[in-house]
Amino acid sequence: MSTTNKRITLAQRPVGTATEVCFAHDEVPTPAPGPGEFLVKVEYLSIDPTIRGWMAYDTYLPAIEIGAPIRSGGLGTVVESNNDGYPVGTTIFGMTGWQQYATFDRGVQIVPEGIPPEAALSVFGTTGLTGYFGLLEIGRPVAGETVLVSGAAGATGSIAGQIAKIKGCRVVGLAGSDEKCAWLTEVAGFDAAINYKTENVRRAIREACPDGIDVYFDNVGGEILEAAIGNLALRGRVVLCGAIAQYNDERPSPGPNNLGVLISKRGRMEGFIVLDFLKRSGEAIKNLGAWVKDGKLTYTTDVIDGLENAPAAFDRLFTGANTGKVMVRL
Amino acid sequence: MSTTNKRITLAQRPVGTATEVCFAHDEVPTPAPGPGEFLVKVEYLSIDPTIRGWMAYDTYLPAIEIGAPIRSGGLGTVVESNNDGYPVGTTIFGMTGWQQYATFDRGVQIVPEGIPPEAALSVFGTTGLTGYFGLLEIGRPVAGETVLVSGAAGATGSIAGQIAKIKGCRVVGLAGSDEKCAWLTEVAGFDAAINYKTENVRRAIREACPDGIDVYFDNVGGEILEAAIGNLALRGRVVLCGAIAQYNDERPSPGPNNLGVLISKRGRMEGFIVLDFLKRSGEAIKNLGAWVKDGKLTYTTDVIDGLENAPAAFDRLFTGANTGKVMVRL
């Protein structure tokens, strides 16, 4: 165990894209766990778009303090423990932050043996649960309905879309490259995929969803949200999961100009935060695990090595360089 | 009974405000009811914002055809009948259109004796039912919650707000004049009223709803919708009833720039059309009637005389000249 703890902290709040100036790299002494605490050696960091909000302002969680490690989910092993519930050798997932070591006294989940770290952080992690609960509890798809997913090759979108497929829906995904689109239809089993960077999105959505969209799972916001609302079916639902197209805006972008469609189509648009569903994660992980085992659900990861590369890994979310779950391996 | 039927028909589709050029005044022979039909002499027209949409394009109903009478609810008396279900003398409410006489064979509601026409068209009519079902079924307010209503001195908003008050909520209304605001707090029993034309709406909403908005009943759209979303409470609901501030836009206005609030606050925004609830109108009218009788629910009307003044009456909705239900007495 190292006596020093390398960290990446918040140097300044981002305006627009979170560039290197927002991050400071430092080293502090490795903390010693106090009574009831345990020390975790971090092995993987979960790199998520929501971190952009935490860096900038209060959201559903207070903003990260300047000088504090970047708030982040992470997976690691207990290396020192004063807590019988978390003995040395236990693998946990918790809010480790971007650093090599973190202490906890509670508030972490034990990762069961036999689950590889990359699965624990993706399909069985926050992003998988986000896709699961967002689609099923907010979108409430019914077999035979049409489900459109944006950010469909991302960690959450790919899970949401595949679950919709498992539930008997026609599933269309939006992604930003032909390679991602090929992955969606050839590997993930989507019925159709739209490259939003090269196609006329409005027309492509209309053609791929001729009976309208019953559930739109929105990870991006912006023009694609407007296009999806414009093609909503009667009693269509819009699941507001994220709006990555807007997180780096220097000032707020206009919203969809066609909310009247929600009236004439009796539509529902609803946001959610996966934290509210974590008490039901056992049920979700059981179902997700069975689908993975049966070959009905696949996942892919985008693993970047080295804590020092966490900012670059984070940037991949916004440039769309990743297919699947972005994570950093320490 | 006159042998001629004066009508106001759609001359051209409106671009921007529906001015006189959109309307044609003509006279045709009074129709004779065919087998199973009955002839209604129209006595009152219900003047509603949704007519603006019907004039322009397909919405939840197909657009009015050029040359056809302006589609409109109306109240009248059966004056000739080949239908035993609707004998001469029966008072009905139906889609009469802007004309003196209309024939039907079904699809109208019988107005029970003892209900004055002005009540039948307002509190017990489409606008009253819109306020009732929109608030209770879409907004689902709980006693102690804060409910914000825009267009609060209008036919629908005034009913929605008073029902919220009956259900034990703190109710704040937005209206466009000090006189309307005084009516809201002094007559309709609202807890507070905001003059959106003279006050800083964002700040006034924040001050009037210090714990956030649990239910926002939206009749106007636009900047007020954005301001309400910006002050939404956790798990707040936005009832999309109408967007009168935007109906005369020549091109679509940008939507609210803060839909991310719906994510962080787990908010729900949902549209509805009262037509879907008409099969439950008996239940609503029973409750509305009891509240009126007990003095808990008041209503007010804005009655304009003369079929030829229907376009001017319609315009009052958009200039905000009216308090309460706009109707034309023939």
Taking CA–CA distances from B262, the nearest residue in chain A reads A271
In percent, the amount of chain B with pLDDT more than 70 equals 100
Is the CB of residue A215 less than 8 Å from the CB of residue A235? no
What are B's interface residues with A at a Cβ cutoff of 8 A?
53, 59-60, 221, 225-226, 240-243, 246, 252-273, 276
pLDDT higher than 90, residue B36: yes
Nearest CA in chain B to A256: B255
pLDDT tens-place string over residues B174-231: 999 999 999 999 999 999 999 999 999 999 999 999 999 999 999 999 999 999 999 9
String of b and e for B55-94 (b: at least 16 CB within 10 Å)?
A: bbeebbeebbeeeebbbbbbbbbbbbbebeebeeebbbbb
Q: What is the pLDDT of residues B136-183, one digit of tens each?
A: 999 999 999 999 999 999 999 999 999 999 999 999 999 999 999 999
Burial of A139 (0-12, 13-18, 19+ CB in 10 A): buried
Nearest to B255 among A243, A257, A272 (CB): A257
pLDDT confidence tier of residue B272, bands split at 50, 70 and 90: very high
Is the pLDDT assigned to residue B1 strictly greater than 90?
Answer: no
Per-residue pLDDT, averaged over A157-177, amounts to 98
Partner residue facing B264 (CB), from A221, A266, A273: A273
Radius of gyration of chain B (CA): 20
DSSP string over A2-19: -SEEEEEEE-S--SSS--
**Residue A327's beta-bridge partner residues?**
A46, A303
Please, which residues bridge with residue B44 across strands? B75, B329
Q: What is the DSSP letter of B87?
A: -
Amino acid found at B278: L
Q: Sort out which chain A residues have CB atoms less than 8 A from B258's CB and list them.
A: 252, 255
For B252, which of A240, A257, A264 is closest by C-beta distance?
Answer: A257
Q: Is B238 within 8 Å of B270 (Cβ atoms)?
A: yes
- The mean pLDDT of A275-303, rounded to a whole number, is 95
3-state helix, strand, coil in chain B (%, to 5): 35, 25, 40
pLDDT of B244 reads 87
CB A70 within 8 A of CB A23: yes
Q: Is the pLDDT of residue B245 over 90?
A: no
What's the rounded mean pLDDT across residues A59-84? 97
Query: Average pLDDT in the A102-117 region?
Result: 93
Average pLDDT, chain B: 96
Of A227, A153, A168, A260, give the one whose Cα is nearest residue B241.
A260
Nearest CB to B267; choose among A253, A265, A271: A271
Say whether pLDDT at B2 is over 90. no
Please give the average per-residue pLDDT across A214-228, as a whole number: 97
Query: DSSP code of B112?
Result: P
Which of B263, B275, B277 should be substituted to probe chain A, the one whose Cβ sees the most A Cβ atoms within 10 Å? B263
- The answer to whether the Cβ–Cβ distance between B260 and A253 falls below 8 Å is no
pLDDT at A124 over 90: yes
Helix orientation angle between B126-133 and B281-293, rounded to the nearest 10 degrees: 100
The mean pLDDT value for B295-323 works out to 96
Of A144, A128, A134, give the one whose Cα is nearest residue A191: A144
Q: Closest by alpha carbon to A176, among A155, A146, A154?
A: A154
Distances (CA, A) of A318 to A8, A19, A182: 19, 12, 20
> CB-CB: which of B255, B266, B267 is closest to A256?
B255
Decide: A252 and B257 in contact? Cβ < 8 Å: yes
What letter does residue B67 receive in the DSSP assignment? T
Q: Do B266 and A243 touch (CB under 8 A)?
A: no
**pLDDT given for residue B131 in this prediction:** 98
> Is B248's pLDDT higher than 90?
no
First to last CA, chain A: 14
pLDDT class of A176 with cuts at 50, 70, 90: very high
The per-residue pLDDT for A20 is 94
Nearest to A75 by CA among A121, A119, A114: A121
Q: What is the mean pLDDT of residues B300-313?
A: 97
CB atoms within 10 A of CB B199: 16
Closest CA–CA distance from residue B72 to any residue of chain A (Å): 17
Over range A43-68, report the average pLDDT: 96
Local confidence band at B93 (pLDDT 50, 70, 90 cut-offs): very high
Q: Which residues of B touch A253 (CB under 8 A)?
A: 257
Q: How confident is the model at residue B40 (pLDDT cuts 50, 70, 90)?
A: very high
Residue A47 reports pLDDT greater than 90: yes
Closest by CA to A241, choosing from A50, A83, A75, A93, is: A50
Going from the N-terminus, what domains does chain A have, and what CATH number goes with each? 4-122+300-329 (3.90.180.10), 126-275 (3.40.50.720)
Q: Going along chain A, which residue ranges are E strands?
A: 4-10, 23-29, 38-46, 74-81, 91-94, 101-104, 109-110, 146-149, 170-175, 192-195, 213-218, 232-240, 268-271, 301-305, 325-329
State residue A231 phi and psi, 5-degree precision: -115, 25
- Cβ pair A276:B253 closer than 8 A: no
Which residues, in sequence order, are CB contacts of B265 under 8 Å at separation 6+? A60, A271, B232, B233, B234, B235, B236
Chain A residue numbers touching B234 (CB-CB < 8 A): none
Considering only A42-46, A278-282, B270-274, which range has the smallest mean pLDDT? Answer: A278-282
* DSSP-derived secondary structure letter, A324: B
Alpha-carbon span A39 to A5, nearest angstrom: 12
Does pLDDT of B263 surpass 90? yes
The single residue listed with the structure tokens 């005084």 is: B182
**A216 pLDDT more than 80:** yes
From the list B19, B25, B20, B24, the residue with the least C-alpha distance to B6 is B25
Predicted confidence (pLDDT) at residue A196 exceeds the cutoff of 90? yes
Average pLDDT rounded to a whole number, residues B53-66: 95
A89: left (phi over 0), alpha (psi -120 to 50) or beta: left
Low-confidence winner among A200-214, B117-131, B244-258 (lowest mean pLDDT):
B244-258
In this structure, what token pair is assigned to residue B320?
């905000």
Confidence class of residue A2 from pLDDT cuts 50, 70 and 90? confident
- Compute the distance between CA of residue A126 and CA of residue A120 in angstroms, rounded to an integer: 9
pLDDT at residue B50, as a whole number: 94
Rounded to the nearest angstrom, the minimum Cα separation between A219 and chain B is 11
Residue A250 has pLDDT above 90, yes or no: no
The rounded percent of chain A whose pLDDT value lies above 70 is 100
CA A83/CA A105 separation, integer angstroms = 7
Segment A63-80 mean pLDDT? 98
What is the C-alpha to C-alpha distance for residues B296 and B293, in angstroms, rounded to an integer?
A: 8
Among A314, A318, A312, A172, residue whose Cα is nearest residue A243: A318
